[in-house]
Amino acid sequence: MAERSFAKEVQKLKLGEGDTFTGEGILALTKALLEAGVGYVGGYQGAPISHLMDVLADAEEILTELGVRYEANASEAAAAAMLAASVHYPIRGAVTFKGPVGINVASDALANLSSSGVTGGALVIIGEDYGEGSSIMQERSHAFAMKSQMWLIDPRPNLPSIVQSVHQGFELSEATNTPVMLMVRIRSCHVTGSFEAKDNKRPPFTVKDALANPRSDYARVVLPPMSYLQEHDKINNRWPAALAYIREHRLNEVFGPSEAPVGIVLQGGMYNGVIRALQRLGLADIHGDTEIPLYVLNVTYPLVPDEFFEFCEGKSAVLVVEEGQPEFIEQAFGSALYKTGRTIALYGKDVLPMAGEYTGQVMLDGIEAFLRKAAPDLLPARLRAPNSDQKPALPDLSKTVPMRPPGFCTGCPERPIFAAIKLTEMERGKHQIAGDIGCHLFASLPPFEIGGSTMGYGLGPASNAAFDGGGDRRSISILGDGGFWHNGLSSSIGNAVYNKSDGVIVIIDNFYSAATGGQDILSSRADNASKATGHPIADAVKGVGVKWVRQLDRTYDVPKMREILNEALTTDHVGPKVIIASSECMLNKQRREKPLAAKAIKEGRRVEKPRFGVDEDICTGDHACIRLSGCPSLSLKKLDDPLRDDPVASIDQSCVGCGNCGEVADAAVLCPSFYRADVVHNPGWAERSFGALTTRIITWLQTRRSSGRLEFART
């Protein structure tokens, strides 16, 4: 069950000539692919393009009607390899994944694809996850485009530009026999807007046609001597063709006056931020009309030197707005200016930060600093006044706003697993623990502080390989079900079996690829009409040779989880010890069950919901339950009792009734203060009668107790 369903929205993909399409960027991307006559699509989910994969999945019926093949690939490498269909055949293909980690995984296939070249248009839609909204290391995709000479499109973040870039990307790819990377940033994926739709096109040459008429050409095989010739083809033919196509079809754009003392060169994705900064400086209006000339690089690789030189004519200084590092574009233009003997001043990372996201304030400060140095007369009078550069000090909010690190959701079934590991470490001492990409990586943060490294999706156990040769204590590796099927089965489990590793591997099976949006995977329990699910992880690990396997089907059973961990850490078995801890992702479970429960309540049917609470009279205020679970629904409550200074534990309304708090308390032998109460909606007459009776009895007992209480009145 994906994080979000686009079942209704995908109907907009059927719009045709004369219709106006309104929606999100990811939906517009899909529409553009269909209008461009794409023959096959695929990819692997990950921010910020997870929803694009969800759209494709929900639109599979529409794709099939048009003769388009859709595949949810096992990894980014599998997605990139899928583009091999465009090498020999005139079929347009597109795949999508998160960059740059997706590019890292897919790099082998992409490098081979770029070397061999393509016949049909091949488009790689990269979700550029850079900046403050990112969940990964801070790197750019630009370097790979340069290394493998794949053209990189970075469109302005509005729907018409994004849609146009899809069409241009395919055409550029076919005109140069080169795969093209289309970069969409976080804001581009989720921007909302409109564009004039066109009719969808059936691919003129389909994968079915290709199967009926197989082709091969040894010149496209990436082996010597063909690979040497392919490298020369890149330089002598594909590169000049790309420059000519970009220039002739005006893929890059120029805005603003034709004559001005200064100008700004910017990545297409930075356009909105630059325009907003100029608006705040009084140098542009809300329609985007700017007093400062802008050279917008919708294609950031390859760069077109002649276009740049034309833009620089008559200007004394130019600013390059390039987010991230290294400053590839600034270096390239600086080199071009130097080699041609031009003396124009080039600004960039001297007024803008080398690293970090170019937020609104960063962009404003950088452009203002550039203008202050290069053309102060263009600034409004208020900014030219003496001491106008002395801005008021920003308040330090770190002392008033507490940190909010990411954490497990309320009721997350992974929380009790790490509570059990923590309890085990309290008994046996600290262990060498390696984490993995996924929700379980939150365990490295308080209150668990378990695991201190992550090397890649599915590589948790592999990153502990150096420690698995035997020692006083066994290492513990964490691996999620999504990472297991992505790369972990071969690179981690198979590696451990082959090397007879002595470590303990905990595979967290929450029924989905939960960290990327809750998509189904091979081991999902859900029925999927177009995908094969229900393949147990236990069968897969046994199939590659793991002999010691334990399955736990309810992770909330903390005592049982701790028992299995202790067994794995003490057994005499030689070889990897694999524990599969399975419970459904609570977020997806709630998404599925809440609408059903709400419907049943509305229809008058009986619905029972568990709730947990803390008996204030029993709670000692030890708070170990909070330290061992960290559940967001657990908080502290100050009692109105002069004899009890310490606050007690309290469970708020966000509780989903998972029972983890009570399980942790029981496993840690803390206290019996947790209780469960079942809230019944639409109870029967017997339950209502019994409830009324118990209420009267409790009220009578409370009244009797209150009447005998000794009270002191203050005078």
Q: Cα-Cα-Cα-Cα dihedral of 319, 325, 329, 333, to 10°?
A: 70
DSSP state of 667: H
Classified as helix, coil or strand, 533 is coil
Flag whether pLDDT at 632 surpasses 90.
no
Phi-psi region of 30 (alpha: psi -120 to 50; beta: other; left: phi over 0): alpha
**Which pairing describes strands 548-552 and 648-651: parallel, antiparallel, or unpaired?**
unpaired
Compare 99 and 153 and report the one with higher pLDDT.
153
At residue 625 the predicted structure's pLDDT band, cuts being 50, 70 and 90, is: confident
Residue 193 bridge partners (DSSP):
23
pLDDT per residue as tens digits for the range 108-165: 999 999 999 999 999 999 998 887 777 777 888 999 999 999 999 999 999 999 999 9
**CA angle, 369 then 370 then 371, to 5°:** 95
**Which pairing describes strands 20-24 and 192-196: parallel, antiparallel, or unpaired?**
antiparallel
At residue 614 the predicted structure's pLDDT band, cuts being 50, 70 and 90, is: confident
Q: Cα-Cα-Cα-Cα dihedral of 335, 337, 343, 349, to 10°?
A: -50
Q: What is the largest CA-CA distance in the chain?
A: 103
Question: What is the third-level CATH fold of 415-588?
Answer: Rossmann fold (3.40.50)
Q: Name the residue among 184, 655, 156, 601 with its Cα closest to residue 410.
A: 655
Q: Where in the chain is the domain with CATH 3.40.50.920?
A: 253-384
Q: Are 537 and 481 in contact (CB under 8 A)?
A: yes
Q: What is the pLDDT of residue 631?
A: 81
User: Mutual orientation of helices 159-176 and 239-248 as an angle, nearest 10°?
Assistant: 140
Q: Where in the chain is the domain with CATH 3.30.70.20?
A: 606-707
Q: Are 524 and 584 in contact (CB under 8 A)?
A: no
Percent of the chain having pLDDT more than 90? 55
Flag whether pLDDT at 385 surpasses 70.
no
What superfamily would CATH give domain 9-248? Thiamin diphosphate (ThDP)-binding fold, Pyr/PP domains (3.40.50.970)
Flag whether pLDDT at 9 surpasses 70.
yes
Flag whether pLDDT at 395 surpasses 80.
no
Flag whether pLDDT at 388 surpasses 70.
no
User: Mutual orientation of helices 101-116 and 226-233 as an angle, nearest 10°?
Assistant: 100
Q: Where in the chain is the domain with CATH 3.40.50.970?
A: 9-248, 415-588
Compare 100 and 387 and report the one with higher pLDDT.
100
Question: What is the third-level CATH fold of 606-707?
Answer: Alpha-Beta Plaits (3.30.70)
Q: Both tokens of residue 636?
A: 């502290």
326 preceded by cis ω (within 30°)? yes
Residue whose tokens read 């594909």: 238
pLDDT per residue as tens digits for the range 205-252: 999 999 999 998 888 888 899 989 999 999 999 999 999 999 999 999
At residue 393 the predicted structure's pLDDT band, cuts being 50, 70 and 90, is: low
pLDDT per residue as tens digits for the range 295-313: 999 999 999 999 999 999 9
Q: Both tokens of residue 124?
A: 């790689």
Residue whose tokens read 């002649």: 306
pTM (predicted TM-score): 0.87
Q: What is the pLDDT of residue 50?
A: 83
Q: What is the pLDDT of residue 307?
A: 96
DSSP state of 401: S
**CA angle, 242 then 263 then 351, to 5°:** 105
Flag whether pLDDT at 660 surpasses 80.
no
- Look at 116-130, 480-494, 638-652, 688-702 and tell me which has the smallest mean pLDDT: 638-652
Question: What is the third-level CATH fold of 253-384?
Answer: Rossmann fold (3.40.50)
Q: Name the residue among 655, 634, 636 with its Cα closest to residue 645.
A: 636
Look over the chain and give the mean of its residue pLDDT values, rounded to a whole number: 89
pLDDT per residue as tens digits for the range 515-557: 788 888 889 888 888 888 989 999 999 999 999 999 999 998 8
At residue 711 the predicted structure's pLDDT band, cuts being 50, 70 and 90, is: low
